[in-house]
Amino acid sequence: MSLRTKPILSQFAARKEGPPYLIQPQVANAVIESLIRRKKLGAWHPFIFLIMPDHVHGIIRFGMDSKGMKSELRNWKSSLAKSQNIEWQEGFFDHRIRDDNSFTEKFEYILQNPVRAGLVEQAQDWHWKIVSED
């Protein structure tokens, strides 16, 4: 499927200041499971989604029945806030990916984030991510 068939957006949602809460196994697993659930429902297709200690990055295409990015992310964050006691910052940053080069650039940026942060030596060693095969 061409990138131009549906908007693909790079997302960033930061957690309020505090300890590295998002990579605690129970919390990180809940975040991953929430993405898998949304993918199975056809609501989201995460090409890559990566959890850092205090924020998340992703490239997501929303489903045809989506109520819009703002609504989708607000509902997702609200659900995780209730179930995992995550105190998210309001809002998010987005970037429309317009072509294959932009997609590749953002994908690699996200994948290398734990390396740049000094959390692992190689990107493949970071456990808290989803990388789609398609």
**Residue (of 130, 129, 112, 109) closest to 121 by Cα position:** 112
Domain extents in the chain? 3-131
Q: Is the pLDDT of residue 11 over 80?
A: no
Q: What is the dihedral of CA 82, 84, 87, 91, to 10 degrees?
A: -70
Three-state DSSP at 113 gives helix
Strand 9-14 vs strand 93-96: parallel, antiparallel, or unpaired?
Answer: antiparallel
What's the pLDDT at 6? 53
What's the pLDDT at 133? 78
For 50-102, write each residue's pLDDT tens digit. 999 999 999 998 888 888 888 888 899 999 999 999 988 888 888 888 888 98
| Fold classified for 3-131 | Alpha-Beta Plaits (3.30.70)
